[in-house]
Amino acid sequence: EAQVTQNPRYLITVTGKKLTVTCSQNMNHEYMSWYRQDPGLGLRQIYYSMNVEVTDKGDVPEGYKVSRKEKRNFPLILESPSPNQTSLYFCASRRTADSNQPQHFGDGTRLSIL
Amino acid sequence: AQKITQTQPGMFVQEKEAVTLDCTYDTSDQSYGLFWYKQPSSGEMIFLIYQGSYDEQNATEGRYSLNFQKARKSANLVISASQLGDSAMYFCALYTGGAAGNKLTFGGGTRVLVKP
């Protein structure tokens, strides 16, 4: 089954404790991205990757890091999480960066930073 | 910069009636794509429909149709014959691949509640 898998689904942690949210897709997609969703703001893009070893900032990259060492994986790293990063996070992928392709989303990761 | 606006934070619709969700956008790119996604209370994002900026026909997918008015920069979603399962949050999104990078920008969403 074609899917985007995020882990963990839920996490409560404390300020400053490094965490990683993993994202994996099994569709051989080139393009992957991370979003955060906050009430009234919709989804905002954090980082995206056009292919292996190619990453770029989205609209809200501050406080986040990503890496793309393999095509299937695109982890999101919070080196020193802060309460304002409490949010619902989505990973997504599409076959290429072409505009007419819908993104496949993971089920989301709800992070609470205390 | 790309911008996308959904002016209706929430709306009620009677079951079996049609509903139109508004979406306006702003971009300087000539080539772009417009998407609608549905987010039910369970949280997942479900792709509904796509319209390309060069597509002359309005997109349709089953009960969903996209009313694309390029000159007005609007891309409204029409859901015909609403069902209880249509109750969800709906997001309009604009994809651009120009100098600003390959980005998908989302509107703030419209919450739809279908009444029996």
Region class of B81: left (phi > 0), else alpha (psi between -120 and 50), else beta: left
Amino acid at position A10, single letter? Y
3-state secondary structure of B77: strand
| B106/A44 Cβ within 8 A | yes
Q: Which residues of A touch B45 (CB under 8 A)?
A: 43, 90, 92, 103, 105, 108
* Residue of A28, A54, A95, A59 lying closest to B93 (CA atoms): A59
| Phi, psi dihedral angles at B84 (to 5 degrees) | -60, -35
A35–B106 C-beta distance less than 8 A: yes
Separation in Å, CA of B109 to nearest CA in chain A: 6
Render pLDDT for A8-23 as a digit per residue (tens, 0 to 9): 999 999 999 999 999 9
Residue in B with minimal Cα distance to A107:
B44
Record: contact A108-B43, CB cut-off 8 A: yes
User: Can you give the pLDDT at residue A2?
Assistant: 79
A33 contacts on B by Cβ (under 8 Å): 104
pLDDT tens, position by position, A16-59: 999 999 999 999 999 999 999 998 788 999 999 999 999 999 98
From chain B, pick out residues whose CB is under 8 angstroms from the CB of A3. none
**Residue A88 near chain B (CB below 8 Å):** yes
Summarize pLDDT for A62-109 with one digit per residue, the tens: 999 999 999 999 999 999 999 999 999 999 999 887 767 788 999 999
pLDDT at A99: 65
Tell me which chain B residues have a C-beta less than 8 angstroms from the C-beta of A45. 103-105
Tokens of A88: 């619902």
* pLDDT confidence of residue B116: 94
B75 — contact with chain A (CB < 8 Å)? no
Tokens 């419209």 identify what position? B110
Question: Which residue of B32, B102, B104 is in closest CB contact with A50?
Answer: B102
> How many CB atoms are closer than 10 A to CB A71?
16
pLDDT in tens, A95-108: 887 767 788 999 99
Ranges of chain B with pLDDT below 70: 98-101
pLDDT attached to residue A1: 80
Q: Which residues of A73-102 are buried (b: 16+ CB within 10 A; e: fewer)?
A: bbbbebeebeeebbbbbbbbbbeebebbbb
The CA distance from A106 to the nearest CA of chain B, in Å, is 7
- Does the CB of A38 have a partner CB in chain B at under 8 Å? no
Structure tokens at A14: 């404390």
**pLDDT at residue A72, as a whole number:** 97
